[in-house]
Amino acid sequence: MYTTNVLAEHLMEEGGSAHAAAVLYSGVTVAYALAFLAFWWYVTRVGHLFHEQVDKEGARATRVRFGLGAIAYPCTVVLAFYSAPLTLVAHFLIALYYAANQIPIPLVVEEERLESAGDLRKWPPGSTAVLCGQVGYRI
C-alpha cells in the first residue's frame, strides 16, 4: 500500500517528513475506519443482508466495538504531529485490539441463541454446520 511504503521510507528521518508520512498514514486509516463504520451501520441497520440465522440485535450490539476505531484512529493523526514512531506503535496497539478482541456475531437456530462457534454442536443431529468467519451456517 502506498501510505505504508511512504511511512516506512520516512519513519526514521529527522524533521517534518516523518511527521508528514505518519499524518498521511493515519489520515488514510481514519478514512478506512469511517468507511467500515458506515458500512457496518448500514448492514446492521435493517439486517436484510444477514443470513436468517444471524441474530440481528446481537449484530447491532457489535457497533460500539467497531465504532472505537472512529475514535482511536483520529487520535493517531494528532499523535503523528508529535512522534511518527509512537504513531506506528499506536497503530500496532489498535490492530492488536481488533485482532484479539473477537466478539462473535450471535446466531439464532430454532429459537436458540448460539454464542460461539462451539455452540454449533447444538444443531440437530444430521445437519451440517459450516463456520464462515464468525457466522455459522447450516447446509
Contacts of 72 (CB under 8 A, 6+ apart): 33, 90, 94, 97
In this prediction, residues 18-39 reach a mean pLDDT of 91
Provide the 3-class DSSP secondary structure of residue 111.
coil
Give tens-digit pLDDT for 59-113: 787 788 778 888 999 999 999 999 989 999 999 999 888 887 666 666 666 544 5
List pLDDT tens digits, range 35-48: 988 988 888 887 77
- The confidence score (pLDDT) of residue 118 equals 57
Q: How confident is the model at residue 137 (pLDDT cuts 50, 70, 90)?
A: very low
User: pLDDT digit string (tens) for 46-70?
Assistant: 777 777 777 777 778 778 877 888 8
Distance CA 72, CA 111 (A): 37
pLDDT at 123: 52
Q: Do residues 63 and 71 make contact, with C-beta atoms less than 8 angstroms apart?
A: no
- In this prediction the pTM is 0.67
